[in-house]
Amino acid sequence: MPVIEVQHLHKTYGDKVAVDDVSFTVERGEIFGILGPNGAGKTTTVECVEGLRTADGGTLSVLGLDPRHDRHELRQRVGVQLQESRLPDRLRVGEALELYSSFYRTPADTGRLLDLLGLTHQRDTAYKKLSGGQQQRLSIALALVGSPEIAVLDELTTGLDPQARRDTWDLVEAVRDEGVTVVLVTHFMEEAERLCDRIAVIDTGRVVAIDTPAGLVRQIGDEQRIRFRPSAPVDLAQLRALPDVLEVERHGSQLVVTGRATALQTVTSFLARNQVLAGDLRVDQANLDDAFVALTGRKLD
Ligand SMILES: Nc1ncnc2c1ncn2[C@@H]1O[C@H](COP(=O)(O)OP(=O)(O)OP(=O)(O)O)[C@@H](O)[C@H]1O
């Protein structure tokens, strides 16, 4: 049974339609991504799920509860990591965890949580002395301190350097391995691709696709792009006529061939037959970036 069911969610701010028509379900134990550009309506969607905002239309069920009426119960069972959360500068890590623990019926073991999030040595460190990555890890710890069944993490790696980002990804996987269902709001393609079991792609307040990362890429076909510099002139008409080749473009001295999955073998045999060498050969598979462009007609960043 799904732990979250959202159907035809609609939310406006004055005249502005923030969420037009969003539907999705999240199964227990998965990492579910909500991916889309800035302003797509991701945060508004999850805030309605958390009971922090009231939807204007649609139905919501979270752990069998209605966020509109059961906010207090949901707060005990859904951990929320807010975008850009800040704590008082002088509050120490251990103190913050003890304080937040006191809000919950079944608080987590804070020592274990510090250990899980790699903050054991920072227990007595004041918030303002923590690095960006450590502050982010603390905000995840605070989302988990009530032993939630679901954790909602919103833009959790924005502003982190690449290493801290990768460390945070490992942590999210560790959280899921503890049995927590994770809803991850992100506008980073790489993050969604690496972490999520399934992704809802949201654009201008609507869901444009829901699938696994590989499924989203499959939706746009298994095209590949082959780039090389031929050592001798190539007959482009013959190249275009090869099976599996969809398109051939010349970019200066480089040829770019777009083709189906087996196009590489076809193209390299053709070149060998014509005694042409393929210099600087590079093959790119379609990725989630290409899928996003195909689904929404524009790039994510
Ligand atoms: N409190 C508010 N009042 C008025 N408009 C708002 C409010 N909050 C969000 N919006 C607008 O609603 C739209 C959706 O915003 P939302 O924050 O849900 O998008 P998002 O996909 O989470 O974007 P971001 O990644 O930038 O947070 C945006 O156009 C935003 O400007």
Closest residue by Cα to residue 35 from 159, 207, 151, 172? 207
Our mutation pick for probing the ligand 1 site, out of 16, 84, 202, counting the most ligand atoms within 8 A of Cβ, is 16
Question: Which residues have any ligand 1 atom within 6 Å of their CB?
Answer: 13, 16, 18, 36, 38-44, 187
Ligand 1 midpoint to CA 6 (Å): 19
Which residues does residue 9 pair with via DSSP β-bridges, in sequence order?
A: 22
Give the pLDDT confidence score for residue 83 in this predicted structure: 63
Beta-strand runs (E) in the chain: 2-13, 16-27, 31-35, 57-62, 78-81, 150-154, 181-186, 198-203, 206-211, 224-230, 245-251, 254-259, 278-285
Give the pLDDT confidence score for residue 85 in this predicted structure: 67
Q: Are 53 and 47 in contact (CB under 8 A)?
A: yes
Give the pLDDT confidence score for residue 132 in this predicted structure: 84
Give the pLDDT confidence score for residue 267 in this predicted structure: 95
Ligand 1 midpoint to CA 48 (Å): 13
CA 237 from centroid of its chain's CA atoms: 42
Ligand 1 midpoint to CA 241 (Å): 49
Q: Are 228 and 235 in contact (CB under 8 A)?
A: no
For the CA of 40, the closest atom of ligand 1 is 21
Residue having the nearest C-alpha atom to atom 30 of ligand 1: 39
The interface pTM score, or ipTM, of the predicted complex is 0.95
Give the pLDDT confidence score for residue 87 in this predicted structure: 86
Please enumerate in sequence order all residues whose Cβ is within 8 A of that of 84, keeping only pairs 6 or more positions apart, or say none: none
Our mutation pick for probing the ligand 1 site, out of 43, 152, 185, counting the most ligand atoms within 8 A of Cβ, is 43
Residue having the nearest C-alpha atom to atom 28 of ligand 1: 39
Instruction: List the chain pLDDT tens, one digit each, 301 residues.
Output: 799 999 999 999 999 999 999 999 999 999 999 998 888 999 999 999 999 999 999 999 999 999 999 989 999 999 998 766 678 899 999 999 999 999 999 898 899 889 888 899 999 999 999 988 888 889 888 998 999 999 999 888 877 788 878 888 888 898 899 899 999 998 888 889 899 999 999 999 999 999 998 888 877 777 788 999 999 999 999 999 999 898 899 999 999 998 887 899 999 999 999 999 999 999 988 777 777 887 887 776 6
Residue having the nearest C-alpha atom to atom 7 of ligand 1: 13
Give the pLDDT confidence score for residue 238 in this predicted structure: 95
The whole-angstrom separation of Cα 24 and Cα 178 is: 24
